[in-house]
Structure 1
Amino acid sequence: MKLYLKSVTVLCLATGTAHAGGIDRSGQSVDVLFEDGRYLEFSAVSVSPDLTGEARAPFANGTGSGDIAPSYFRYGAAYKADINDNWSYALILDEPFGADVDYPLGTGYFASTSDAEFTSQALTGLLRYKDDSGFSVYGGLRIQSVEANASVNFVRPVGPPLFYSADADVHYGVGYVAGVAYEKPEIALRVSLTYNSEISHSVDTVENVIGVGSLSTSTEFETPQSVNLEFQTGVAADTLLFGGVRWVDWSDFALDPSLYQTVTGGSALLSYEEDVVTYTLGIGRRLNENWSVAASLAYEENTQNLFTNLGPADGQESISLAAIYSQGNYEITTGLRYIRIGNTTTGVSGTPAANFDDNDAIALGFKVAYRF
């Protein structure tokens, strides 16, 4: 049961982070460490959001934003191998954080033609020690690159419209991962607790405001620390219960270049008032020696806070379905997830500006794995 269902569990959890709280995209799982023997996987997720809003007074009340969230593609890869009976290691490549917002032209919306993109890539190296009682400890380093750009064209409640742009260079930062786990293979039980440190970045940024001028600065921010609690356990023959809780320290994250703060009276391009906790619960079932299936639910609380116009997504509810086909040393896994995005109010300079209601997204995941 463990061999067939493990990959289903991983893909359900992976697609479960698509369009999650803040700008979370990968979930930073370390489940590959618990694969048997030598193992290699490649994964990809395609996400198609439908995110529209409607302006409220005093911002052209009732004007629609159009769909502001382009579809995006996320990939990942991982390799795990044993050193001896007690020691093993893994390498994980993922895109942990990301955002892409593009307000269409010609809508009459107060933020029309504004756009922003934030991308990241991370390579994580982990080393694990497991004793004979089933307990293990693991840890390692993560090197992460980030890059961002934005063009903000906002009509404001007071003063002239804002025409602002920023272009930030690629920057690399280093953080760490530490965790502990317990396994009992005879009942397919595993519980793991993983801490991901914040990673500091100081990004060279060129800002420009029409009518004010340009400024070359260094924008400092941290991608947030997080904790993942993940579990799985057999509940009947060929049946697995799995889930997890992920906490991310988004309240300490702020992308706030100097010139943008100056011309907006201290606002950030992208920030969040509260941390985000994501809950996931699912069940997997082995159908025969080749096929297994799984389903999971995920939930994030709607905070009802005021969000920036470059990040209008407050909470979510979702359902994921996944299936795995195994033949010899190969496994092919697919997963589908439907996300209902929480209703969100955005603001400009602290003034409520728009309501983003009844939005959703669909994520399709695919993974190919090979056991040596």
Structure 2
Amino acid sequence: MKKLFGTVAVLALAPAMAGALGLDRSGQPVTLLFEDGNYAELSFGRVFPSVDGNDVAAFGGSATGEVANNFSQVGLGVKYDLNDQLSFSLNFDQPYGSNVNYPTSSVALGGTRAVVDSRSIQALARYKLNNGFSVHGGLRYQEIQADVTLGGAAYGPLNGYRAQFDSDGDLGYVLGAAYERPEIALRVALTYFSGTSHDLPTSETLNGVGVGALPAAALGLPINPFSTTSVTKVDTPEALNLDFQTGIMEDTLLFGSVRYAWYEDTIVSPTFFDTIQDGVVDGDSLTDIDDGYALNIGVGRRFTDKLSGSIAFGYERSGDDLVSPLAPTNGVKSIALGLSYDVTEQFNLSGGVRYAKLGDAMPETGTPDTARANFTDNDVFAVGFSVGYSF
């Protein structure tokens, strides 16, 4: 049943959406640690979102045009057994990201843009206990950086505001436990990921002028107290993954996962942006992301000694219809198909495709929150593949 999970790993490279479950992209899988024997894997995914809408009538009702850009995912990992009880894994992934850009055809939000990039190196160890139990854990070094622009008439005096966040890294940790019964291909693994805290060097400008150079009168102040550069503290979310599999008949595997992430702790409050909202520094954020969960369940089937396949369904619940313009979707329903082929006893090729239907949403700005556009009937198509080598 092992190679069926090569297919599942590929499907994870075809996420439902850049903004699905907050900023999640990879889902931080730990399945590499449970591969049989020594194993290395290189994986790649490409995601093609189709996300557009219309401005509300107050802004003319014009089409926004496509706002979500295509993006790629790369993963690389190796797992090594030190002995029958102790094993290690080292892997690279891109856990979080966003790539949203509103064309100028949108009167309300044209020019709004958000690019978030991340990189992570994770080192884990697993120790097998008696009676099928094991524990795993380790460290994760993670870097993030971002570039956010607020554009369009819906932002009023902040139209043209830009915050550029330089890269910063931090160390987090991973803890988990698993239970296995190999005779029925049963495995249940629970893994906790700590958040990481980043002090991002920040440059704030308004229509290309550093905020520290803005005339005080333009801000309605006797003097301008702001500096163009500052440091913004950003915490990435804590998360919990539950992965499971079990044989349900000969050569057939039921598998699934649940991921919960605490995104409400992810606040992005550059000094000028925060203060200009209500005159005080109180945590006004460029982002507004709810805590949430993602569910996946599927069936894998071995067709021959070399070929196996899988089908999986995904679900992310919808919440408030009013959403951030930087993540203009609300819930996801997806289906994914995958194939895995053993070229030799050492080499395996896996590939997968995923189609996701995105929930309707209304990007908002202002206080109180006010809808500025309507996004309906949007979707995403994604492909992924991996090359695995047992040694």
**TM-score normalised by L of structure 2:** 0.90
The structure 2 residue matched to 1:147, chosen from 132, 140, 145, is: 145
CA distance in 1 between partners of 2:111 and 2:17 (Å) = 25
1:151-187 Cα distance to aligned partner (Å, 9 max, x none): 2223137x54621111111100110000000111111
1:158-307 equivalences under 5 Å are 159-160=156-157, 162-210=159-207, 213-214=211-212, 215-265=228-278, 267-272=284-289, 274-307=290-323
Confirm or deny that 1:113 pairs with 2:130. no
Confirm or deny that 1:25 pairs with 2:45. no
Say whether the 8 Å CA contact 2:65–2:106 is kept in structure 1.
no
CA distance in 2 between partners of 1:16 and 1:243 (Å) = 15
Q: How many residues align?
A: 367
CA distance in 1 between partners of 2:288 and 2:170 (Å) = 20
Distance verdict in 2 for CA 1:108–1:337, change over 3 Å: closer
4+ long deviations beyond 6 Å: none
Deviation at 1:57, TM superposition (A): 4.1
Confirm or deny that 1:345 pairs with 2:343. no
Query: Which range moves more in the overlay, 282-291 or 111-120?
Result: 111-120
Deviation at 1:236, TM superposition (A): 0.5
Q: Which residue of 1 aligns with 2:220?
A: none
Q: Which residue of 2 aligns with 1:9?
A: 8
Say whether the 8 Å CA contact 1:17–1:26 is kept in structure 2.
no
Distance verdict in 2 for CA 1:340–1:279, change over 3 Å: same
Q: Which has the higher strand share?
A: 1
Percent identical pairs in the alignment equals 37
Say whether the 8 Å CA contact 1:16–1:320 is kept in structure 2.
no
CA distance in 1 between partners of 2:8 and 2:326 (Å) = 32
1:34-86 Cα distance to aligned partner (Å, 9 max, x none): 0011100000110000010211143x141111001110011001100011111
Deviation at 1:271, TM superposition (A): 2.1
Q: Which residue of 1 aligns with 2:61?
A: 62
Say whether the 8 Å CA contact 1:17–1:24 is kept in structure 2.
no
Distance verdict in 2 for CA 1:245–1:25, change over 3 Å: same
Distance verdict in 2 for CA 1:142–1:160, change over 3 Å: closer
User: Residue type of the partner of 1:24?
Assistant: D
CA distance in 2 between partners of 1:140 and 1:238 (Å) = 33
Say whether the 8 Å CA contact 1:21–1:313 is kept in structure 2.
no
1:105-141 Cα distance to aligned partner (Å, 9 max, x none): 3x14222122220000000000110024210001000
User: Residue type of the partner of 1:275?
Assistant: D
Secondary structure at the aligned position of 1:254 is classed as coil
Q: Which residue of 1 aligns with 2:217?
A: none
CA distance in 1 between partners of 2:159 and 2:275 (Å) = 12
1:70-85 equivalences under 5 Å are 70-85=69-84
1:302-343 Cα distance to aligned partner (Å, 9 max, x none): 102421111112110000000011022101000000011111
User: Residue type of the partner of 2:194?
Assistant: S
CA distance in 1 between partners of 2:362 and 2:13 (Å) = 28
Q: Which residue of 2 aligns with 1:369?
A: 388
**Structure 2: gaps spanning 5 or more residues:** 213-227
User: Residue type of the partner of 2:73?
Assistant: R
1:32-43 equivalences under 5 Å are 32-43=32-43
